[in-house]
Amino acid sequence: MALGPTVSAAQVADLRSALAAGELPDEPGELIGLVAELEALKSTICARQADAAVAYDAARREDEELGGVPAAHRGRGVAAELALARRESVHRGQALLAFAKVGRTEMPHLLERLADGTLSEFRAMLALRETACLSADHRALVDEELFADPDALDGIGTRALVARVRTIAYELDPASIAERASNAVRDRHVSIRPAPDTMVRLTALLPVAQGVALHAQLTRDAATMTATGDERRKGQLMADLLVARTTGVPVGDGPQPPAVPVGVTLTLPATTLAGGHAPGLVDAEPVPAEMARLLVAASLDAGLDTWFRQLYPDHTGRLVAMASKQRIFPAGLADFLSVRDQGICRTPWCGAPIRHLDHVEPYADGGPTTADNGQGTCAACNHAKQAPGWRQHVEPDGTVETVTPSGHRYRSRAPAPPGWRTPLFVKTGHGRYTLVA
């Protein structure tokens, strides 16, 4: 079989530049055609990314085998490298690498449909996920049945595609599907994620009976409170009832949600407390100045324990120290690193919450336990940098540079504290500069 020319990163960069600089056509039909071809191109790019990921994983494992790395440790950190290259979190990098490897070895037609633009990466990953409980042979049958013919997918939406994969999977191996449903019950959990406007999303993954029963009970009780004259909307009442019954606090009868005793780290400039407009931060989420003042005032009015600690930035806005005394929560470097990094993993594009406080230059290699050599990371990123070939160091301005085994470099700088703006000086005369921001 004849092989085509090698595709290089430079060629792709040239194509990207040409697409970015090119003029759009004037004719409306041509514009729609361009949108369609660009969508197909995105799918083709995702397919080649999958091919490159599988090839890089194989090359890394081969090099590590020659270097004497134990089999159980080979390939460690590859998903994190791919995540950095794709500007994704490590968790997402792991999912993308698994998709590429399983697709290449067990569902090649699916990747062919991705390469020819018939499938998007999102739909392809959903289809692959629905076959996770099947054997390799059964996966190959699903692949042949659904993805061998590109015309068979014409007009098929996401829900219809997932339904077809599930149907065929059940026909091939009903016992595995039943076992998957049983395992799903064991995966029930509650999670929390930030939402805009100083809100969070509390999500419960529950078996259908328990989930429906919980929602129905909250709905009935909210309707009862509405019938007795409560002016809160149904959704507000259901949320307040959930909080009250989980925490044991009174549900209240006003427009505000129930007050709960909880520790929240709110970082804000001192000028905001005095009436300024600079927002505060809860982790990395901005809190409007007025809302920040209301949160502080509400905790004081409710008689809750409220503690203040002072943070010290240098002339560039980088946090360098924290007041050392605090009455309830333990003082120390861990608190400072969590506040400085705003609760988010320092690895570029990760976005996961901090779980580990890590030495940038490893302690075993002489790295000091200091604020400059410390960073907050998620567990996956901290483990990834332990793989052979990973290096990190701190530059004089506090930037952490990560060098991956492939030689690519990525830089991460701690976010500026709330209210900080980099000073901007404009030359207004010979030897004269004026601060404008």
d(CA 421, CA 299): 29
Least-confidence region, from 47-61, 84-98, 335-349: 335-349
Same structural domain, 167 and 73: yes
Q: What total of structural domains would you count in the chain?
A: 2
Same structural domain, 83 and 179: yes
Give percent of the chain above pLDDT 70. 86
Same structural domain, 141 and 158: yes
Residue 258 in domain: no
Q: Is 44 helix (H, G, I), strand (E, B) or coil?
A: helix
Q: How large is the average pLDDT for residues 5-20? A: 91
Instruction: Give start and end residues of each alpha helix (H) in 289-433.
Output: 289-301, 333-340, 379-384
Q: How large is the average pLDDT for residues 49-63? A: 95
Same structural domain, 112 and 173: yes
Residue 228 in domain: yes
- List the one residue out of 320, 331, 350 whose CA is nearest residue 417: 320
C-beta pairs of 292-299 under 8 Å, 24+ apart in sequence: 292/266, 292/268, 295/264, 295/266, 296/266, 298/259
Same structural domain, 71 and 206: no
Same structural domain, 86 and 210: no
Residue 142 in domain: yes
Which pLDDT value is given to residue 248?
85
Indicate the pLDDT class of residue 326, thresholds 50, 70 and 90: very low
Residue 122 in domain: yes
Structure tokens at 317: 């806005």
Residue 312 in domain: no
Same structural domain, 50 and 180: yes
Which pLDDT value is given to residue 4?
66
d(CA 353, CA 337): 13
- List the one residue out of 289, 219, 211, 298 whose CA is nearest residue 261: 298
Could you say which of 198, 229, 247 is where a domain stops? 247
Are the C-beta atoms of 334 and 343 separated by less than 8 Å? no
Same structural domain, 116 and 171: yes
Sequence-ordered list of residues with C-beta below 8 angstroms from that of 110, at least 6 positions apart, any chain: 103, 119, 124, 127, 128, 143, 147
- List the one residue out of 336, 244, 262, 339 whose CA is nearest residue 305: 262
Could you say which of 154, 184, 214 is where a domain stops? 184
Could you say which of 131, 151, 184 is where a domain stops? 184
d(CA 165, CA 15): 35
Domain span holding position 195 = 189-247
- List the one residue out of 207, 233, 132 whose CA is nearest residue 173: 132
Residue 80 in domain: yes
Residue 381 in domain: no
Looking up tokens 């409007």 gives: 288
Which pLDDT value is given to residue 329?
30
Same structural domain, 194 and 150: no
pLDDT for residue 327 is more than 60: no
Each residue's pLDDT tens digit, 309-318? 666 676 666 7
Residue 239 in domain: yes
Same structural domain, 34 and 130: yes
Structure tokens at 182: 């049983």
Give the phi and the psi of residue 102 in degrees, each rounded to 5. Answer: -70, -40
- List the one residue out of 324, 390, 397 whose CA is nearest residue 360: 390
d(CA 21, CA 17): 6
Residue 30: count other Cβ atoms within 10 Å of its Cβ: 11
Beta-bridged to residue 409, according to DSSP, are 403
The DSSP symbol for 430 reads T
Same structural domain, 137 and 108: yes
Each residue's pLDDT tens digit, 144-203? 999 999 899 988 999 999 999 999 999 999 988 888 877 878 888 998 887 777 788 899
Least-confidence region, from 234-243, 321-330, 385-394, 428-437: 321-330
d(CA 310, CA 297): 18
Sequence-ordered list of residues with C-beta below 8 angstroms from that of 251, at least 6 positions apart, any chain: 240, 241, 243, 244, 258
Are the C-beta atoms of 251 and 240 separated by less than 8 Å? yes
Same structural domain, 199 and 71: no
Sequence-ordered list of residues with C-beta below 8 angstroms from that of 354, at least 6 positions apart, any chain: 337, 338, 341, 343, 344, 345, 376, 377, 378
Q: How large is the average pLDDT for residues 279-302? A: 72
Indicate the pLDDT class of residue 2, thresholds 50, 70 and 90: very low
Each residue's pLDDT tens digit, 74-109? 999 999 999 999 999 999 999 999 999 999 999 999
Q: How large is the average pLDDT for residues 257-273? A: 72
Sequence-ordered list of residues with C-beta below 8 angstroms from that of 417, at least 6 positions apart, any chain: 267, 269, 281, 311, 313, 317, 319, 340
Indicate the pLDDT class of residue 66, thresholds 50, 70 and 90: very high
Are the C-beta atoms of 322 and 371 separated by less than 8 Å? no
Are the C-beta atoms of 79 and 97 separated by less than 8 Å? yes
Q: Is 198 helix (H, G, I), strand (E, B) or coil?
A: coil
Indicate the pLDDT class of residue 114, thresholds 50, 70 and 90: very high
Which pLDDT value is given to residue 433?
67
